[in-house]
Chain A
Amino acid sequence: QKEVEQNSGPLSVPEGAIASLNCTYSDRGSQSFFWYRQYSGKSPELIMFIYSNGDKEDGRFTAQLNKASQYVSLLIRDSQPSDSATYLCAVDMNTGFQKLVFGTGTRLLVSP
């Protein structure tokens, strides 16, 4: 069973702090990694994707990938109350055609 694991949270941070969200995955052959944000009752919204080991920055967001440890993370700098949502880690399990396997998500609460 190919799995993606996330701490369900909630992760509480004060406004302006750095939020760190983590994800591990079971399939060592996985190639593509995605972070989605999901507000309650809404659909997943793509924030970042990363394919190579290391860091990838986009504005306040940084995705980090370590394939040897099968670990991917998302850092949110200068967290805002509007960042409060569930963050979903999704992994393409390298089955031929793209099929995303999602974690359960980490709920982030940013307090003013």
Chain B
Amino acid sequence: EPEVTQTPSHQVTQMGQEVILRCVPISNHLYFYWYRQILGQKVEFLVSFYNNEISEKSEIFDDQFSVERPDGSNFTLKIRSTKLEDSAMYFCASSEADYNEQFFGPGTRLTVL
């Protein structure tokens, strides 16, 4: 069964460093998303991406964040200068079409020291 994959599973970084989280969405899906979940809190929407551009973003997704689809399979989330409060699980999701169900990857645990 096709699934969303994410790498790395765990990333530890120093405050102020740049990190890139990688995702491979399900191959025939066209809509891609990033969510995050701070430990013990709810899953929060960050950004949606379609046709090589951002379709919607949340207040969390400020200038420190960017997304890219560098090739036909990968979808990345970059945090330019990490802060302690960026420590969270970051989930990538994809859907076949808009308003279809979203399937989540296993997540990347980001720890900022």
Do the beta carbons of A102 and B42 come within 8 Å of each other?
A: yes
Do the beta carbons of B102 and A97 come within 8 Å of each other?
A: no
Selected contact of A98 from candidates B43, B58, B95, CB within 8 Å: B95
Do the beta carbons of B105 and A49 come within 8 Å of each other?
A: no
CB-CB under 8 A from A43, the residues of chain B are 89, 91, 104-107
CB-CB under 8 A from B106, the residues of chain A are 42-43
- For residue A91, give the distance in angstroms from its CB to the closest CB of chain B: 11
CB-CB under 8 A from A11, the residues of chain B are none
CB-CB under 8 A from B107, the residues of chain A are 42-43
Chain B 69-113, CB-CB to A under 8 Å as 1, else 0, gives: 000000000000000000001010001001111111111000000
> Which A residue's beta carbon lies closest to that of B102?
A100
Which B26-75 residues have C-beta < 8 A from chain A?
Answer: 31, 33, 35, 41-45, 48, 50, 55-56, 58
Do the beta carbons of A102 and B44 come within 8 Å of each other?
A: yes
Q: Interface size on B (CB < 8 Å)?
A: 26
Do the beta carbons of B55 and A97 come within 8 Å of each other?
A: yes
Knowing A32-B99, A98-B31 are in contact, say whether A103-B105 is a contact too (CB < 8 A).
no
Q: With the chains together, A32 CA to B31 CA distance in Å?
A: 16
Do the beta carbons of A98 and B98 come within 8 Å of each other?
A: yes
Residue with the highest number of chain B CB atoms closer than 10 Å, among A42, A44, A49, A98: A98
Q: With the chains together, A46 CA to B26 CA distance in Å?
A: 15
> Which B residue's beta carbon lies closest to that of A46?
B101
CB-CB under 8 A from B35, the residues of chain A are 100
CB-CB under 8 A from B33, the residues of chain A are 98, 100
Q: Could you give 7 example pairs across A and B, Cβ below 8 Å?
A: A44-B91, A96-B56, A97-B48, A97-B55, A97-B98, A99-B45, A101-B45
Which chain B residues have a beta carbon within 8 Å of chain A's beta carbons?
31, 33, 35, 41-45, 48, 50, 55-56, 58, 89, 91, 95, 98-107
Which chain A residues have a beta carbon within 8 Å of chain B's beta carbons?
31-32, 34, 36, 42-46, 49, 88, 90, 92, 95-105
